Amino acid sequence: MVDRLLYEALSEGIKEEIERDSKVFIIGEDIGHYGGSYKVTKGFFEKYGNLRVLDTPIAENSFTGLAIGAAMTGLRPIIEGMNMGFLLLAFNQIANNAGMLHYTSGGNFSTPLVVRGPGGVGRQLGAEHSQRLESYFQSVPGLQMVACSTPYNAKGLIKSAIRSENPVLFFEHVLLYNLKENIPEEEYLLPLEKAELIRSGTQITILTYSRMRYHVLQATKVLVDKGYDPEIIDIISLKPLDIGTISASLRKTHKVLIVEECMKTGGIGATLKSIILEYLFDFLDAPIISLSSQDVPTPYNGFLEELTLIQPHKIIETVEKMIR
């Protein structure tokens, strides 16, 4: 086992795949000489050259389209968004092309590519840099969406995403890059469609992902001290959802709390709630509660920014109300 920060784990995973498969390359802004905005690709340009590490102009729609075309010919591009919010400029390419080409070509073309980069609400980065793109892309047919949350799952998932035949949107939270954890030295892969049971419990199922995993864990310490027994699941696979793991938990606890950084309207939580109500309603002993971000642009002001997000004390209060 070796200590790795989350951005180092991602870097290792991508390096291993570049060296394993000559068809893998990286494309994006400042990923070459600069080493990426969060240093995931630091040292790549010097080691692999400008045919495997392509620095681009500030033109997200153009280089995303280029990468999709490369994927159609059999290459495996990794698109880095300097900030995931900027990739809204490439929404057409990701949705209409990457997501649908396999279908619209009658199976003649595949688009095995990964779109990855920093997202989520940072610390005083302002509205345009604090985007949660999972809510925008979840309804697009043909896309897979994965949210890493630890150095261990970041490395295992990025390697699986690069090897996938599907276009994968890979969400990394801007505030988790410096998270440290022991990870195996030997190669490992993790399934893209599987949730992670973080803590087993009997009283309530808490579904979460990305940075909110740590808000939930912080709240859980207090809840356990008070005698509560929550079950915690990091859903990881935002599309498709691992309904099997969620169903097994709900059949045991009969209560569900969703904690997310995504917006309440049209977010991942809204989709989760809809699916649970449709297929697992008979196992519920209480209404599903969703703790989501406010439906407002993220303020630059630090105090107001904090108010738009779910904090651990709110999770504690909600669990106590649901279990009483």
- What pLDDT, on a 0 to 100 scale, did the predictor assign at position 96? 94
- What pLDDT, on a 0 to 100 scale, did the predictor assign at position 122? 85
Question: In 3-state terms, what secondary structure has residue 176?
Answer: coil
Chain position carrying tokens 């880095």? 80
**Looking at the chain, which residues constitute the CATH 3.40.50.970 domain(s)?**
2-183
Average pLDDT over residues 75-103: 94
Hey, which CATH number is domain 196-323, 3.40.1160.10, 2.60.120.260, 3.40.50.920, 3.40.50.280?
3.40.50.920
Residue among 17, 60, 261, 305 flagged as catalytic = 60
Tell me the sheet residues that pair with 197.
Answer: 233
Contacts of 184 (CB under 8 A, 6+ apart): 1, 2
- What pLDDT, on a 0 to 100 scale, did the predictor assign at position 267? 93
Question: In 3-state terms, what secondary structure has residue 81?
Answer: coil
Rounded mean pLDDT of the chain? 95
Least Cα distance to 213 among 236, 194, 192, 230 occurs for 236
Chain position carrying tokens 């999770």? 315
Please give the CATH topology (third level) of the domain spanning 2-183.
Answer: Rossmann fold (3.40.50)
- Decide which of 159 and 304 is more confident: 159
- Decide which of 129 and 10 is more confident: 10
Query: Cβ(284)–Cβ(255) under 8 Å?
Result: yes
**Model confidence over 5-29: pLDDT tens digits?**
999 999 999 999 999 999 999 999 9
Chain centroid, CA 122 distance in Å: 15
Least Cα distance to 169 among 140, 197, 190 occurs for 140
- What pLDDT, on a 0 to 100 scale, did the predictor assign at position 125? 84
Least Cα distance to 78 among 92, 88, 67, 69 occurs for 67
Average pLDDT over residues 184-198: 97
Structure tokens given for 74: 């059999």
For residue 131, pLDDT beyond 90: no
- What pLDDT, on a 0 to 100 scale, did the predictor assign at position 45? 94
- Percent of the chain scoring above 70 in pLDDT: 100
- What pLDDT, on a 0 to 100 scale, did the predictor assign at position 55? 95
- Rounded distance, CA 121 to CA 118, Å? 10
For residue 130, pLDDT beyond 90: no
Tell me the sheet residues that pair with 172.
Answer: 118
Residue 304 neighbours by CB distance under 10 Å: 13
Q: Which amino acid is at 198?
A: I
Residue among 29, 80, 129, 215 flagged as catalytic = 129
60 an active-site residue? yes
Contacts of 293 (CB under 8 A, 6+ apart): 121, 132, 260, 261, 262, 263, 264, 267, 308, 309, 310
Average pLDDT over residues 266-278: 95
129 an active-site residue? yes
Report the C-alpha dihedral over residues 254, 194, 40, 85, rounded to 10 degrees.
-60
**Looking at the chain, which residues constitute the CATH 3.40.50.920 domain(s)?**
196-323
Average pLDDT over residues 254-281: 95
Q: Which amino acid is at 76?
A: R
Residue 86 has, within 13 A of its CA and on its CB side, a CA count of 19
- What pLDDT, on a 0 to 100 scale, did the predictor assign at position 44? 96
- What pLDDT, on a 0 to 100 scale, did the predictor assign at position 100? 94
For residue 62, pLDDT beyond 90: yes
